[in-house]
Structure 1
Amino acid sequence: MVLRLLIILALLLPVACTPVADVKKDASVHETLGFSYLQEGNPTKALKEFLLAVEDDPENPDVRSGLAQAYHRKKAFELAEGQYLKALEYSHGDPKVRNNLGALYLDMRRWEDALRHFRLAADNLLFGSPEVARTGMAVAQIKLGKYADAVESCQRALQIDPQYPQARLYLGEAYDALDKPELAIVEYRKAVAFVPNYLEAHYRLGMSYMRQKKMKEARDEFDKVVNIAPESDRGRLAGQYLKLLK
């Protein structure tokens, strides 16, 4: 029995004596690989790396945030929410994490929760991209039917970055909802001026032109949508509109 205990202890000693720094170094390697896989568009491999990283460094907010992003991209929304909340706890309310949590709540159709977290991120003076959070607020406000508030949120985003195309897009959508198509067209055109292949902006611009009975301009925009992404949902819809507008 003593011999068996000695063997067991001998086997355990290397683990018990592993320096904490080495464990965290391993976690850092897995974290780096995880974010690399996310950038490559491979959330499955990213998930495997972040799960390994979180075993070694469970209170690291960046690891928790990366794990949340991997779950989010795989549409495991409840799991993503849990990891974002842990990242918020361990980071003491990092506004980048709040912004990403707001984006998750948009995907979960929890508009009020999304609006709350985007607002907290936008109002945090340490957040480096408040225009992103302001635009997220606008998306939630549009979903809630608060179109005038959405206009204000987009305008505040554009005060920070006048060339932020997503803010132009959702400002246009808010104007469309307020029955101000001329103003919407101005914003969509600015969005595609900044990002020429902005699929959604071209599609919305085509729809606005069609409502204004400007059929040639509508055809031009729908044609661009088809050329950019013919197999996408927007591409197929644009193709159908092109057939109707012939």
Structure 2
Amino acid sequence: MKMQNAKCKVQNKNTQYAGIGLWVMPYCLLLIIFLTGCLSAGLREEASIHYRLGVSHLNDGNLPVALKELTSAVEKNPSDPSYHNALGLAYLYRGLDHEAIKHFNEAIKLDAKFSEAHTNLGAVYLRQKKWDDAISEFQASVANIFYTTPEIAYNNIGWAYYQKGENEKAIDNFKKAITANSKYSLAYNTMGLAYAKMNKDREAADAFNNAVRYSPDYADAHYNLGEVLIRLNDKKRAVESFQKVIKLLPDTEIARSAQEKVNLLK
């Protein structure tokens, strides 16, 4: 968390002091600085309390209360990039992209190497289908060698390239994501989609298999695996994959689609 110390500037127009004034003024100055420092510390603590409450409500999905608490945190301490990032996330989850972008940018302005803020800003651009802007933000994220989850940014770069139809670049970044985290199922699934788009069905099947190996409850990956297994003429395993989707997500659109596939294959 990045804090900025409050600066106290006292300006005195008098250039000369007479008698006792020379002794009184320094004590007054110390008192002013002391009181200002106490106020700043108090505000920072209040802001921290609002921030922690806001993050807790954000994690619980209580967006209105999260927005209220995080807004209070930012108002009381606007110089902390973490507060702007969290508030941006709350706006992002609420679907208010303009406000989310504003606070992510403010977080980055306060800390240019704040990888999480770059990643979150990139996520907004992904949603808006601004692929090149998204790629730029994710690349800024991974440029920071201290970023603890680069697999997220690399996978998102890959997804942006996939949406642009640049599948080779997409796969290259999915592989970087997997290098950063060998059990990152999302990257295996998206890489499988890119291989399938290139009609490299065997490679796609391998990628989807890895996705469900590391995340057995990953319904989308099971469905994608089933689709590619049909193309590989492995109907038995395709049916098994679709049946897993139905079991994992009953009474959903993807489950109904999987059931239709099973009916056609039997």
Q: Establish whether TM, by shorter chain, passes 0.5.
A: yes
* Superposed CA offset, 1:90-145 (max 9, x none): 12231111111111211111111111111121222121121221111101010010
* Superposition RMSD in Å: 1.7
1:237 Cα deviation after fit: 2.4
Q: Is 1:127 aligned to 2:147, yes or no?
A: yes
Residue matched to 1:96: 116
* 1:228-239 matched pairs, under 5 angstroms: 228-239=248-259
Q: 1:92 to 1:217 in 2, by over 3 A?
A: same
1:213 Cα deviation after fit: 3.0
Q: Which of 204, 225, 241 matches 1:184?
A: 204
Q: Is 1:69 aligned to 2:89, yes or no?
A: yes
Partner of 1:19: helix, strand, or coil?
A: helix
Gaps of 5+ in 2: 1-34
Percent sequence identity over aligned pairs: 30
Q: Which range moved further: 124-133 or 230-239?
A: 230-239
1:88 Cα deviation after fit: 0.8
Q: Which of 36, 48, 72 matches 2:68?
A: 48
Residue matched to 2:57: 37
* Superposed CA offset, 1:141-185 (max 9, x none): 100101000111111222222111111111111111111011000
Larger radius of gyration: 2
Residue matched to 1:213: 233
More helix by share: 1
Question: What is the alpha-carbon distance in structure 1 between the residues aligned to residue 97 and residue 45 of structure 2?
Answer: 29
Q: Is 1:27 aligned to 2:47, yes or no?
A: yes
Gaps of 5+ in 1: 1-15
State whether residues 113 and 144 of structure 2, in contact with CA within 8 Å, keep that contact through their aligned partners in structure 1. no
* Superposed CA offset, 1:55-95 (max 9, x none): 11122111100110001111111111111111111122311
State whether residues 123 and 130 of structure 1, in contact with CA within 8 Å, keep that contact through their aligned partners in structure 2. no
Q: Is 1:157 aligned to 2:177, yes or no?
A: yes
State whether residues 165 and 194 of structure 1, in contact with CA within 8 Å, keep that contact through their aligned partners in structure 2. yes
Q: 1:97 to 1:143 in 2, by over 3 A?
A: same
* 1:79-90 matched pairs, under 5 angstroms: 79-90=99-110
> Which residue identity does 1:82 align to in structure 2?
K
1:22 Cα deviation after fit: 1.2
